[in-house]
Amino acid sequence: MNQASVGGFWFLDEGYGNSVQDRSGNDNDGEIRSKGNNPIIWVPCSDRTCLRFHISKNHGQTVEIRDDSTLRPENALTAEAWVDPDSGSDSLIVGKIQKNQKDGFGIGISSDRWYGQISMQDRTYHELTGDNIHLDQWSYLVITYDNSTFRIYLDGVQMNSMQLSGEILSEDVPVYIGSESDQDWYFEGYIANVGIWGHAFTPEEVAARYDSWQPAKCP
């Protein structure tokens, strides 16, 4: 695996405060923003501490990571996250997308199904849908793009793909974890080990990462 291509990697295991550290070495640290005075909740799980994204009165939490050139993949991409959803409502898990715009890239939930999206410099928008989500259990969700194929994986296995080529449209906007930009499309549940890479994981690499670590159940 090309470690030099990592844009950012966030364990989301700090256990306190409103900041999350980028463990990639690129210093793309994030800030937890909670709308509507909702408290930030860190939950001690059996193997680590996890950040719980929750919704109250239509408001939730998001992690905002400032824009950086290392987070703007051009000709190849991997976006990955471990997720344990409490709800099948439409939500963004991680993405670099302007509000209400079909640009950038992201992974999330749409109509109770996993989905991934990517937009190209020619302003075309492409979306892959996968299996129905499973509530209250951890799943490993990945999208990859290698300038010839766009793929989506669940738990190390490819769910869907399409032929695609060209340069990725990656706007100068922050990366958001747990919601769309401007705090919309809130995710509810747990998110861990989020990564953005400037190269496409091979199917073997995706399977190996799934096998290498699986989080324990949180309360």
In a domain, 181, yes or no: yes
115-119, 171-175, 182-186: segment of lowest average pLDDT: 182-186
In a domain, 28, yes or no: no
In a domain, 174, yes or no: yes
Instruction: Report the distance separating Cα 181 and Cα 179, nearest Å.
Output: 7
In a domain, 3, yes or no: no
In a domain, 100, yes or no: yes
Tokens of 77: 């991409």
- Summarize pLDDT for 75-107 with one digit per residue, the tens: 999 999 999 999 999 999 999 987 666 778 999
Given a cut of 90, is residue 32 above it in pLDDT? yes
Query: What's the domain range around 131?
Result: 64-212
Site of tokens 């492409």:
126
Instruction: Report the distance separating Cα 113 and Cα 130, nearest Å.
Output: 6
Q: What percent of the chain has pLDDT over 90?
A: 77
Our count of domains for the chain comes to 1
Cβ–Cβ < 8 Å for 106, 155: no
Given a cut of 70, is residue 3 above it in pLDDT? no
In a domain, 204, yes or no: yes
In a domain, 15, yes or no: no
In a domain, 39, yes or no: no
Return the CATH number at 158: 2.60.120.200
Instruction: Report the distance separating Cα 83 and Cα 141, nearest Å.
Output: 7
User: Which pLDDT band holds residue 172 (cuts at 50, 70, 90)?
Assistant: confident
Residue 102 burial (C-beta neighbours within 10 Å; 0-12, 13-18, 19+): middle
Instruction: Report the distance separating Cα 60 and Cα 124, nearest Å.
Output: 30
First to last CA, the chain: 33
